[in-house]
Amino acid sequence: MHDQNFKNLVLDYPHQALAFFAPQEARPNIAQARIIPIRQEQLKERLGDRFRELDVPLLVEWPDGERTAIVFVIEEESQTCRFSIHRLAHYCLDLAELMATDRVVPVVIFLNDGSKPNSLNLGSEQLTYLQFNYLACDLKRLPAKDYQDSDNIVARLNLPNMRYAKEERLQIYAAAQLGLVQFEKNADKQSKYVDFIDYYANLSEQEIDEYRTRYLNDQGEIMGLAQILRQEGRQEGKQEGKQEGEAFALQKLLTKRFGMLPAEMIVKIVTASLDDIERWFDRAIDAQHLSDVFDR
């Protein structure tokens, strides 16, 4: 489950993933790079060993030639005690041979704390014949407060996986959800990563009720969200006009608060007058139920 979650995350947001999980190698110009996922099925067939099939090998190329291409090997490890540095080194060597390159960067995302080897040294008391290191992203050791305002969507989505005090739990969850709304415009991906946040936050029913009360129904918090969505709506609607922008913002706010909207409701919004849309938007800020927005 964790492997697939993080594989999807890296493939959906490769530039942001490298910037967050491997900042030492991604800086300063990863945004200009072209990132090509290397098909795992092909690698598995060539290597012939399922235990060497890691999560996401990525070929990173810089079209301007500023840097030579690098292959990033990204592995997610949910149980730190099961991590094998020998297996990782073996995989990287095979991959380097297959890709005819020595420029391979291994990155391991550790979902939970635990002891692990940081390097591998093969040799004798006289000489070291093979030295192997990797970049480690220990999510549980990252202070969530350092990333709760990040403009990197991968960092924001992983806030629940970071370190924070118990009393900050709902604040961190809200920051993750707000980051998703801010930086992802695609409705399908929003729905997908709402599930990602919920899965790793794992709130209790009591916490969910408290979140709805403190954040979704709190005027200051929901007004902040509404302001962001309205601004995005204006940007989105520049080409078509104010009405389209406000309709876009209203749909986003309602989806965020109440889940996916029925098709007939979307039609009602996009065909409504600007006055109606603005009136519904204002109601949506403190409505307890979806019906409260329209049934007055």
Domain assignment present for 185: yes
Same domain, 86 and 211: no
CB 157 within 8 A of CB 197: yes
Cα separations in angstroms, 150 against 19, 41, 80, 132, 182: 12, 34, 27, 32, 11
Fill in the amino acid letter for 152: N
Q: What is the pLDDT of residue 290?
A: 84
> Would you state the structure tokens that stand for residue 278, as one six-digit string?
């603005």
Domain assignment present for 225: no
C-alpha neighbours within 13 Å on the C-beta side of residue 274: 9
Residue 239 pLDDT exceeds 80: no
Q: What is the pLDDT of residue 232?
A: 58
**How far from each other are the two terminal CA atoms of the chain, in whole angstroms?**
44
Domain assignment present for 228: no
Domain assignment present for 24: yes
Q: What gap in Å lies between CA 293 and CA 108, rounded to an integer?
A: 46
* Better-predicted residue by pLDDT, 270 or 173: 173
The residue range of the domain holding 268 is 233-296
Q: What gap in Å lies between CA 112 and CA 94, rounded to an integer?
A: 28
φ/ψ of 132, rounded to 5, equals -135, 130
Tens-place pLDDT, residues 165-198: 999 999 899 889 888 877 887 878 887 888 899 8
Same domain, 199 and 292: no
Same domain, 198 and 99: no
* Better-predicted residue by pLDDT, 40 or 245: 245
Q: What is the pLDDT of residue 49?
A: 46
Tens-place pLDDT, residues 123-148: 999 999 999 999 999 999 999 999 99
Q: What gap in Å lies between CA 189 and CA 34, rounded to an integer?
A: 21
Q: What is the mean pLDDT of residues 256-265?
A: 78
Same domain, 8 and 61: yes
Please enumerate in sequence order all residues whose Cβ is within 8 A of that of 272, keeping only pairs 6 or more positions apart, or say none: 247, 280
Domain assignment present for 59: yes
CB 37 within 8 A of CB 45: no
Domains in the chain: how many in total? 3
Fill in the amino acid letter for 70: I
Domain assignment present for 82: yes
Same domain, 99 and 195: no
Q: What gap in Å lies between CA 287 and CA 258, rounded to an integer?
A: 10
Average pLDDT over the chain, rounded to whole? Answer: 82
Strand partners for 75 = 108
Q: Which of 216, 244, 265 is the last residue of a domain?
A: 216
Same domain, 10 and 108: yes
* Better-predicted residue by pLDDT, 81 or 266: 81
Same domain, 263 and 150: no
Same domain, 6 and 122: yes
Residue 158 pLDDT exceeds 70: yes
Q: Which of 141, 160, 182 is the last residue of a domain?
A: 141
Same domain, 203 and 237: no
CB 13 within 8 A of CB 153: yes
Same domain, 31 and 71: yes
Residue 217 pLDDT exceeds 90: no
Of 130-134, 232-236, 266-270, 280-284, the range with the lowest mean pLDDT is: 232-236
Domain assignment present for 272: yes
Beta-carbon count within 10 A of 64 CB? 9
Residue 27 pLDDT exceeds 50: yes
Q: What is the pLDDT of residue 41?
A: 47
Question: Above pLDDT 90, what percent of the chain?
Answer: 41
Same domain, 212 and 292: no
Tens-place pLDDT, residues 37-77: 986 544 444 444 444 445 678 999 987 776 788 999 999 89
pTM: 0.71
Cα separations in angstroms, 36 against 30, 32, 88: 13, 13, 21
Q: What gap in Å lies between CA 293 and CA 296, rounded to an integer?
A: 8
Same domain, 127 and 17: yes
Residue 277 pLDDT exceeds 80: yes
Question: Above pLDDT 70, what percent of the chain?
Answer: 83
Q: What is the mean pLDDT of residues 3-30?
A: 90
Q: Which of 141, 163, 190 is the last residue of a domain?
A: 141
Domain assignment present for 221: no
User: Is the omega angle on the peptide bond into residue 14 within 30 degrees of 0, that is, cis?
Assistant: no
